């Protein structure tokens, strides 16, 4: 399941990169976007499969490790930081290096908070509907 999901995630990552190619000496916005989107998605997924649903045992490995692991890319991020440094774009490299971490962790936290809030609203709505609220 992990390898199947990883293949799907890698294909999505490749397609995204083809639509938004990285320019030499410029901040690699496509990689930043992919990593932030993947972190946002993992924040949603982890709340759903650990707090909201009783998920099938293969769902988390398929989606979390496979699809999202194949979609996001630490190796490309590291290579792009190195390329920016080698091209002399030190400020861009350092901004990209730190900004990616902050944006990705922020995306996880935001997604988890939003998912918990929405799940709580849905739970309260169901309780009212069932006459328990």
25-37: pLDDT as tens digits:
899 999 999 999 9
- What pLDDT sits at residue 44? 97
- Helix 29-47 with 74-86: angle, nearest 10 deg: 150
The Cα–Cα gap between 88 and 82 comes to 10
23: left (phi over 0), alpha (psi -120 to 50) or beta: beta
CA distance to 13, 93, 99, per residue, from 87 (Å): 25, 10, 19
Which tens digits make up the pLDDT trace of 70-94? 999 999 999 999 999 999 999 999 9
User: Smallest Cα–Cα separation from 63: which of 83, 91, 43?
Assistant: 43
Q: Identify the three-state secondary structure at position 24.
A: coil
Unique residue bearing structure tokens 């496979």: 66
Band the pLDDT of 68: cuts 50, 70, 90.
very high
Cα–Cα distance measured from residue 49 to residue 54, given in angstroms and rounded to the nearest whole number: 7
pLDDT digits (tens, 9 = 90+) for 34-49: 999 999 999 999 999 9
Residue 132 has a pLDDT of 62
Split at pLDDT 50, 70, 90, the class of 55 is confident
């Amino acid at each position: 399941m992990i390898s199947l999901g990883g293949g799907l995630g890698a294909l999505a990552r490749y397609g995204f990169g083809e639509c938004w190619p990285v320019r030499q000496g410029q901040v690699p916005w496509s990689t930043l976007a992919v990593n932030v989107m993947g972190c946002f998605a993992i924040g949603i997924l982890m709340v759903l499969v650990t707090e909201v649903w009783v998920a099938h045992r293969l769902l988390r490995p398929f989606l979390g490790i496979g699809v999202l692991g194949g979609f996001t890319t630490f190796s490309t991020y590291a290579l792009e930081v190195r390329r920016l440094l080698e091209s002399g774009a030190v400020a861009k490299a350092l901004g990209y290096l730190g900004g990616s971490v902050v944006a990705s962790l922020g995306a996880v936290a935001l997604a988890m908070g939003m998912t918990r809030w929405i799940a709580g609203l849905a739970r309260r709505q169901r309780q009212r509907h069932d006459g328990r609220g």
